[in-house]
Each structure stands twice: as structure tokens, then as C-alpha cells.
Amino acid sequence: MPVRTLGTGKAALEVSAIGLGCMGFTMSWPPFLPHDEAIAAIRAAYEMGERFFDTAEVYGPFANEELVGEALEPFRDDVVIATKFGFALHGDPDGGEGGEGEAPLDASGRVQQTDSRPATIRKAVEGSLRRLRTDHIDLYYQHRVDLRVPIEDVAGTMQELMDEGKILHWGLSEAAPATVRRAHMVTPVTAVQNEYSMWWRRPEEELIPTLEELGIGLVPFSPLGKAMLTGRFDAGSRFSDDDYRSKIPRFAPEHMAHNVAMAEYVESLASERGVAPAQIALGWLLAQKPWIAPIPGTKHVERMRQNMGGAAVTFTADELADIREHLDAIHIEGARYAPVQEALTNR
């Protein structure tokens, strides 16, 4: 697997060009694998050359970190583990009411209240270290910005945790460019994790130029458009109530008939090259900037293998220009999040 460098200077971190997003092992994408099969799948990714694994305390909650920690324990010194803090999962860290795991949920069962108070962060990092079976976290993201806590305070806490050796690098997820800039002034940021793909390109407007200026890496989640860019769906595809996509406007029946045009275009590119649509989508992302490292998620070993093959797909400048022209001409209908979730982004 080729490698890429996120961040610059002391904030630089070398990772696999294409990582593995592990959320789906415990959240959002049922049916879930039995425990032993999930462990085997994560270890299979390692055996195939994967070295960059992404998790979060909220995925479960907590179960995902436990799974990833167990799976990677034999190889801990040979992998990069990224996890996240920032949701209200720990009750009152100052000793008030509320216990670990208790948090307000939205209609889709997702935690929606943020909490990045320094005391909460310290409680969160200790839990993540324990569940991940490690003495340090390679990359620690603020999962969503907490408007009640100045980002400078969060960045300062990250520096303290670095000084203590509990984390090596830090980043933010779904943060506004101005927030990233403020955070970076206090403690250099290694990476920002935001959604970015052929069918969600808003980061190109302001975020990517900001990251390029500051020397910060980008780790795109949902680089395959929650599987929309894999060739698995058509205009008639529908999703069960326990599938997270059933709560996303873009996947609503009234929008699928229109949005499938994007999937069909990616499939046409894949057919021309004799590769999988997912490999086109991932190769395209890698071609945008040398400091981009996407983290497609899957529970299936063969799809892991296929996704990793996206690192071998390259494009000429003329091909990229032609693709951009086609993408610009395809209008996507429907929001990428329900309103309550969108409200937590770009702030």
C-alpha cells in the first residue's frame, strides 16, 4: 500500500494512502458481523497491507474501539490508529449526574449533543486508551465542534495530551475552515476529517484551499458516497429503517431516481478502464492532492481488497479536467444529512 503524509513539520504523520473506516462494524450499516468474524476481517485488512484504521468512541458507543483495539493489539506498533472524542457520552466529568454512555439521541439513534470541555476530553482519552489496548493514540480528532467550548481551549488540551504522550497528533472533523485556522494557531493540526467525494465536493470551495495553505492533511470519510459510487444501487434501490441511509435525504426515493446519474457516470468510467467503480472514486480523490488519504468503510474482506486497489488508479491532467466537467454538470438532489446532523457541521 502506498503511503501519504498528513500535516507538516512536527505535526506530520505517515499513513496508508487509503485507510479503513471501521464504523460499520458496530454502527449504521447492519447486519453486523459476529465478533470473531469482525476481528478476522480487520486483521485480514492488516495482512493485505492496510496500516491506517479509523474508529471513534461514539461508534457503538465504545464497542467499535473495543473491537479495533482487540483486532490490532498484535500489530499495534505497526499501525496508525485514529479515534475521536467530542460527543456527550461521559455524564458530568466534574462529578455531577449522568453515567458513561448516557446521551441524547436523534431519531436515527445517533448522539447529537457535543461535549468538548477539557475535563470531558481527559475522561474520554483515558477510556479510548483502555478500549484500544494502547498507551497512545496516533491521531485524535474532535468529532464535532462544540460551540460552548472555545476551540483554543480544545487545542490547548490537545497539546497537554501530546506533552503527556497520550496522543501523538490531533485533528478536527467537519469543522469550518475558520475554526481549523484558529485551532492550528494554538496547536498544529495534522488532519481534518470531512466528507469529500465525487458527489460531495463542497470542501473544494474553501476547506481544501485552507488546508493547503496551512499544511494540514485531509482524510475524507464517505469517499464512496455511502456506497452510492460503488455500482450497487439503482433508481429503485430502497433502504430498511435500520440502515442509516434511510434517514439521509439524498437516498430518499424521490431523489434516488435523479442521483443515480452520478453512479452511472462513475460506472461508465470504471467500465472503460476495466476496474471497479469504487476504485475510480478513490483514485479520483487521491489525484486531487498528495495529502489526501480517504477512509472507505466496509466489513467485507473482498471489498477491502478492492478499495485498496484504488491506490493504483491514476489519471492524466486532461482526464481529470474532463471528469470535473462531467461532475459539474450532474446536479445532486437532497441534503447529505438530516437537519439535526447538518447543524453539527461546518462550525
Q: How many CB atoms lie within 10 A of CB 113?
A: 14
- The pLDDT tens digits of the residues spanning 262-309 come to 999 999 999 999 999 999 999 999 999 999 999 999 999 999 999 999
Q: Domain with 292 in it: what CATH number?
A: 3.20.20.100
Per-residue confidence in pLDDT tens, the chain, 347 aa: 999 999 999 999 999 999 999 999 999 888 999 999 999 999 999 999 999 999 999 999 999 999 999 999 999 999 999 999 999 998 766 544 344 555 444 444 556 699 999 999 999 999 999 999 999 999 999 999 999 999 999 999 999 999 999 999 999 999 999 999 999 999 999 999 999 999 999 999 999 999 999 999 999 999 999 999 999 999 999 999 998 999 999 999 999 999 999 999 999 999 999 999 999 999 999 999 999 999 999 999 999 999 999 999 999 999 999 999 999 999 999 999 999 899 999 98
C-alpha dist (Å) from residue 148 to 10, 168, 332, 347: 29, 25, 33, 11
CB 44, CB 304: distance < 8 Å: yes
Task: Report, as residue numbers or ranges, the catalytic residues.
Answer: 59
How far is residue 58's CA from residue 55's CA, in Å, rounded to a whole number? Answer: 9
Quick check: is 17 in a domain? yes
Tell which residue, 18, 26, 77, 71, has the closest CA to residue 49.
18
Quick check: is 159 in a domain? yes
Quick check: is 281 in a domain? no
CB 48, CB 323: distance < 8 Å: no
Quick check: is 257 in a domain? no
- The pLDDT tens digits of the residues spanning 252-269 come to 999 999 999 999 999 999
- The pLDDT tens digits of the residues spanning 183-227 come to 999 999 999 999 999 999 999 999 999 999 999 999 999 999 999
Residue span of the structural domain in which 171 resides: 3-225+288-313
Quick check: is 145 in a domain? yes
**The whole model's pTM is what?**
0.94
Q: How many domains does the chain have?
A: 1
Helix (H, G, I), strand (E, B) or coil at 152: helix
Quick check: is 143 in a domain? yes
Count Cα neighbours of 249 within 13 Å in the Cβ-side half-sphere. Answer: 11
Q: How many CB atoms lie within 10 A of CB 211?
A: 26
CA triplet 55, 61, 66: central angle to 5 degrees?
A: 55
What pLDDT is attached to residue 29?
86
Tell which residue, 51, 52, 62, has the closest CA to residue 27.
62
The CA dihedral of 338, 340, 344, 345, to the nearest 10 degrees, is 30
Quick check: is 93 in a domain? yes
CA 239 to chain CA centroid, nearest Å: 22
